[in-house]
């Protein structure tokens, strides 16, 4: 075993020297056609960076195949299970990475010397892509999702609230402050503070650290009950729309100003600009999460190379160019606001991160991306499991069920724990099996 690892290391080093040389100038040796699959607006990002890629690798042709997020992951998963039909390079959303990190159906990027880039990526994101036994790394991080709190500055101004990020942050740093703002901006039946009152509680978990390494569900954390109480107050006062934040209904409300606040990863800036509120320059402001919640990360994607790909070399050339060069990352960042996980990109074009963003409200200083850069530095490393996405679904529905039943924060938390345990029973068995297979599980 040791020998094999050593062998792999030598190979990896050789490969990395090889790749290192490749980046420097146009590489005409690698050729062929690769298919890249994902969801919008990854395609816009790749198109924006394609020119640079074509210069670096003139003989690789890229075909983009994009569909919606759910359909993409499902198609990817079934074609990995079946052993054919997957693209050469596929996007994987942060929420799903735990399902894939141990997969033998994905190429171990260490064969291509991915470890050379270790220092260029933030630790918490890098570690998410490493298999449980620590031997393989099947995905390269694309972007981070430093979580920002977006608010309609025009509405804030209208009701006499401050609009500068620092002031909003200050005002809403306690739950009392949050409720005060909620009350001020809401008009019953017409305008609401949030899409759903369940979300402040969800923000506590949005880095998806539901389970510890012994797979114990750990929902209790500092200030969670106060947060839940604030959520209940928002609900009971009718200050939320009581709809899913991703629903078309909520999107329409963001655009027309009837839903005033929403939090998401900083990629949401891109959503706002191109899809949700394209005509809304000046509407929005962004700052840190309210209620004294810690800095956290929300999503962000990875790229993987399925083992079934017939042109892995070209696929890796694509992945490493797009995600591990400053030019690739910043070209994409400029186009779609996917915050680069590749840290050298931040210094390479500092203006992208610090310059004020004309889309946002004039009072928005520092720029959302400057705030995001600060947040990115504070995100803790967490342990992800395949249960995370299921658990996340229940944060929303169990809160609604508990609020509807008039429960106390403790009761809601207990209900949530019971719901998650029930829904994740089989997944947990499977996770244990995976850990056993990796040799890192002890009964």
Partner 1 sequence: MKTLLLLLLGLAVLLIVIAKVHPVGKKISLYVVLIIIALIMLLPFYMMFVMSTLKTNEIYSFPPIVTFGSNLATNFKNMNEAVNLPRALMNSCIVTISYVILVLFFCSIGGYAFSVYDFPGKNILFTILLGTMMIPPTAGMIPWFIMMSKFGWVNDFKALIIPSCANAFGIFWMRQYCQNNVPKALMEAARIDGCSEWTIFFRVIAPILKPAYASLGIMNFVNQWNEFTQALLILKKTKYFTLPLLLRSMVSDRGTDVGAMMLASTCAVLPLLICFLCASKFFMDGLTAGAVKE
Partner 2 sequence: MKAAAKKNRFLHALYEYRVAYAYIAPFFLLFAIFNLFPMVYGFFLSFFRWDGMSAMHFIGIENYVNLLKDVLFWKAFKNTLFMGIIAHIPILLGGLVLAYILNSKLVKGQNIFKTIYFMPMVTSSVAITIIFSNLFGYNYGLINWFLSLFGEAPINWLGGDGSLIRVAVIVMFAWKWIGWNMVIYLAGMQGISNDIYEAAEIDGANHVQIVFRILIPLLKPIILFTLIQSTIGMFNLFTEPFVLTGSSWTGGTNNGGLTLMIYLLNKAPQGGTAYGYASAVAYVITVFIVIISFVLNNTMTDKDPYEGKKKRRKSA
Instruction: In whole angstroms, give the CA distance from residue 73 to residue 390.
Output: 15
* Interface with partner 1, residue 26, by CB under 8 A: no
Going by the DSSP 8-state scheme, the letter that residue 360 receives in this structure is: S
Contact region for partner 2 (CB under 8 A) — 72-80, 173-181, 308-316, 373-381?
72-80
Show the beta-strand stretches assigned E in 170-324.
261-265, 284-287, 301-304
CA distance linking residue 146 with residue 369, whole number of Å: 9
CA Rg value for the chain? 22
Q: Residues 41, 196, 384, 385: which binds partner 1 (CB under 8 A)?
A: 41
Do 327 and 49 touch, CB atoms closer than 8 A?
yes
Residue 400 touching partner 2 (CB under 8 A): yes
Give the CA distances from residue 347 to residues 83, 126, 327, 334, 376, in Å, rounded to whole numbers and listed in that order: 41, 19, 11, 14, 14
Q: Is 14 in the site for partner 1 (CB under 8 A)?
A: no
CB of 304 to partner 1, least distance (A): 16
Q: Does 296 engage in binding with partner 2 (CB under 8 A)?
A: no
In the complex, what is the shortest distance from the CB of residue 380 to partner 2, in angstroms, rounded to a whole number? 27
Q: Please name the residue that has the structure tokens 């959302």.
A: 368
Token couple for 175: 């739950």
In the list partner 2, partner 1, none, the entry touching 251 (Cβ below 5 to 8 angstroms by class) is partner 1
Nearer to partner 1, 58 or 85 (CB): 85
Tell me, what DSSP letter sits at residue 90?
A: E
Structure token pair of residue 321:
């160019």
Q: Is 186 in the site for partner 2 (CB under 8 A)?
A: no
Quick one: which H or E segment has residue 66? strand 60-66
β-bridge mates for residue 149, sequence order: 263, 287
Residues 55-94 that bind partner 1 (CB under 8 A): 65-69, 71, 74-75, 78-79, 81-85
Within 13 Å, how many C-alpha atoms sit on residue 189's CB side?
0
Judged by CB under 8 A, the residue of 28, 133, 275, 429 near partner 1 is 275
In whole angstroms, how close is the CB of 393 to partner 2 at the nearest point? 5
**249 makes contact with partner 2 (CB under 8 A):** yes
Supply φ then ψ for residue 63, to 5 degrees: -110, 125
Q: What does 422 interact with, of partner 2, partner 1, none (CB < 5 to 8 A by kind)?
A: partner 2
Number of residues that bind partner 1 (CB under 8 A): 31
Taking CB under 8 A as the criterion, the residue among 246, 350, 408, 425 binding partner 1 is: 246
Give yes or no for residue 396 binding partner 1 (CB under 8 A).
no
Contacts of 186 (CB under 8 A, 6+ apart): 192, 193, 237, 238, 239, 260
Under rule CB under 8 A, which residues in 102-131 are in contact with partner 2?
A: 102-105
Which residues are registered as beta bridge partners of 141? 302
CA distance 372 to 287: 9
List contacts with partner 2 (CB under 8 A). 70, 74, 77-78, 80-81, 99, 102-105, 189, 241-244, 246-247, 249, 252-253, 386, 390, 393-394, 396-397, 400-401, 404-405, 422-423, 425-427, 429-430, 433-434, 437
List contacts with partner 1 (CB under 8 A). 37, 39-41, 65-69, 71, 74-75, 78-79, 81-85, 246, 248-249, 251-253, 255-256, 271, 274-276
């Amino acid at each position: 075993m040791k020998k094999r690892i050593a062998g792999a290391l030598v190979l990896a080093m050789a490969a990395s020297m090889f790749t290192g040389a490749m980046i420097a100038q146009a590489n005409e040796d690698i050729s062929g056609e690769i298919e890249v699959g994902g969801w919008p607006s990854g395609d816009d990002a790749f198109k924006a960076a394609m020119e640079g890629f074509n210069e670096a690798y003139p003989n690789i042709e890229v075909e983009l195949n994009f569909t919606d997020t759910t359909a993409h992951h499902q198609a990817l998963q079934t074609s990995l299970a079946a052993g054919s039909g997957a693209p050469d390079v596929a996007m994987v959303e942060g929420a799903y990475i735990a399902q894939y990190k141990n997969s033998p159906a994905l190429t171990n990027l260490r064969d291509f010397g991915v470890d050379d880039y270790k220092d260029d990526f933030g630790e918490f994101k890098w570690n998410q892509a490493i298999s449980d036994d620590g031997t393989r790394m099947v995905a390269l991080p694309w972007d981070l999702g430093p979580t920002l709190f977006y608010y309609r500055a025009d509405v804030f101004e209208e009701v006499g609230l401050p609009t500068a990020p620092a002031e909003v942050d200050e005002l809403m740093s306690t739950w009392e402050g949050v409720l005060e703002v909620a009350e001020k901006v809401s008009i019953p039946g017409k305008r609401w503070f949030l899409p759903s009152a369940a979300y402040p509680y969800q923000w506590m978990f949005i880095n998806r650290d539901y389970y510890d390494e012994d797979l114990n569900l750990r929902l209790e954390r500092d200030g969670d009950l106060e947060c839940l109480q604030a959520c209940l107050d928002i609900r009971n006062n009718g200050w939320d729309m009581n709809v899913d934040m991703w629903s078309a209904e909520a999107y329409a409300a963001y655009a027309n100003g009837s839903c005033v606040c929403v939090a998401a990863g900083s990629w949401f800036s891109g959503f706002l600009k191109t899809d949700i509120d394209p005509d809304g320059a000046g509407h929005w402001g962004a700052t840190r999460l309210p209620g004294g919640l810690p800095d956290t990360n929300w999503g962000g994607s990875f790229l993987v190379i399925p083992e079934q790909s017939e042109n892995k070399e070209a696929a890796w050339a694509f992945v490493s160019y797009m995600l591990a060069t400053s030019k690739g990352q910043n070209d994409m960042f400029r186009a779609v606001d996917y915050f680069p996980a590749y840290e050298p990109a931040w210094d390479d074009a500092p203006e992208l991160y610090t310059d004020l963003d004309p889309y946002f409200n004039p009072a928005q200083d520092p720029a959302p991306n400057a705030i995001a850069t600060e947040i990115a530095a504070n995100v803790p490393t967490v342990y992800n499991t395949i249960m995370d996405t299921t658990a996340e679904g229940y944060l929303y529905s169990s809160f609604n069920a508990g609020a509807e039943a008039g429960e106390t924060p403790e009761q809601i938390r207990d209900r949530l724990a019971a719901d998650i345990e029930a829904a994740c029973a089989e997944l947990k068995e499977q996770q244990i099996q995976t850990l056993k297979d990796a040799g890192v599980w002890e009964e």
